[in-house]
Chains A and B, each alone.
Chain A
Amino acid sequence: MPTSDELKLRIEQALPGAHVIVEDLTGGGDHFRAKVVSNRFDGLSRIQQHKLIYDVFGDEVGGPIHALSIKTQTPGDGR
């Protein structure tokens, strides 16, 4: 069963320098929320930004990771 620490680590490895917060929403190891701040998102649409995160986990999203809620930001982004 994946943990929020494991998800955080994998996102950080895929996007070096990213600031990542992952919460396990239910404590059950299957519903997560990730907030990722990375300059890799510069110039990308939201779709492309979220896909970068989904791509880290491939088929696991929808499988062991039942739900992964994503919020992406660039460092200069005031949102």
Chain B
Amino acid sequence: MTNQEIRTFIENAVKENRVMLFMKGTPDQPACGFSMRASGALNALGVQYAALDILPDPRIREELSAVSGWPTIPQLFVDGELVGGSDIVMEMLGSGELADLLGVEQPAPSEAPAPEEQPRQAPIGIENRLS
């Protein structure tokens, strides 16, 4: 697998999934607190999203940052556009902007941060698609 192939895979994932989250680990088993918060925000809103674990190959992160111009993980894309990392996602969850962007109802404040909720969609695995 060449770097170019990884980059093309990333670009297609962003194009083909309206809500695309690149993270460390998976929504079921996030491998970093920041990734957990970002996937937890999406779970709290009950939206369908695709998630890709960047950990299996360091080149995934390199190519992702080259594509997005964003240095850290997680990275959330909606409609092909980078929305931001966990700080921006959490800020937008709190303000209701994330719900607006995703076209869903803002949950009641008490249920807003709920990282423990089950993800609605199984993550896509890079090891399955790239090998």
**Interface set of A (CB-CB < 8 Å, partner B):** 46-47, 50-51, 54, 59, 61-62, 67-71
Contact yes or no, A46 B88, CB < 8 A: yes
Which residue in B72, B87, B88 is a CB contact (below 8 Å) of A61?
A: B72
Query: Can you show 5 pairs from A to B with CB atoms below 8 A apart?
Result: A46-B91, A47-B88, A50-B87, A54-B70, A61-B72
Contact yes or no, B88 A50, CB < 8 A: yes
- Whole-angstrom distance between the alpha carbons of A54 and B87 in the complex? 13
Which residue in B34, B70, B86, B87 is a CB contact (below 8 Å) of A51?
A: B70
Known: A61-B72, A62-B72, A67-B72. A50 touches B84 (CB 8 A): yes
Contact yes or no, B85 A50, CB < 8 A: yes
Contact yes or no, B87 A47, CB < 8 A: no
- Whole-angstrom distance between the alpha carbons of A71 and B89 in the complex? 12
List, in ascending order, chain A residues with CB within 8 A of B86's CB: 69
Contact yes or no, B84 A61, CB < 8 A: no
List, in ascending order, chain A residues with CB within 8 A of B82's CB: 47
- Whole-angstrom distance between the alpha carbons of A52 and B70 in the complex? 11
Nearest B residue to A59 via CB reads B71
Contact yes or no, A71 B70, CB < 8 A: no
Which residue in A46, A47, A68, A71 is a CB contact (below 8 Å) of B72?
A: A68
- Whole-angstrom distance between the alpha carbons of A71 and B92 in the complex? 12
- Whole-angstrom distance between the alpha carbons of A47 and B91 in the complex? 12
List, in ascending order, chain B residues with CB within 8 A of A46's CB: 84, 88, 91-92
- Whole-angstrom distance between the alpha carbons of A65 and B11 in the complex? 27
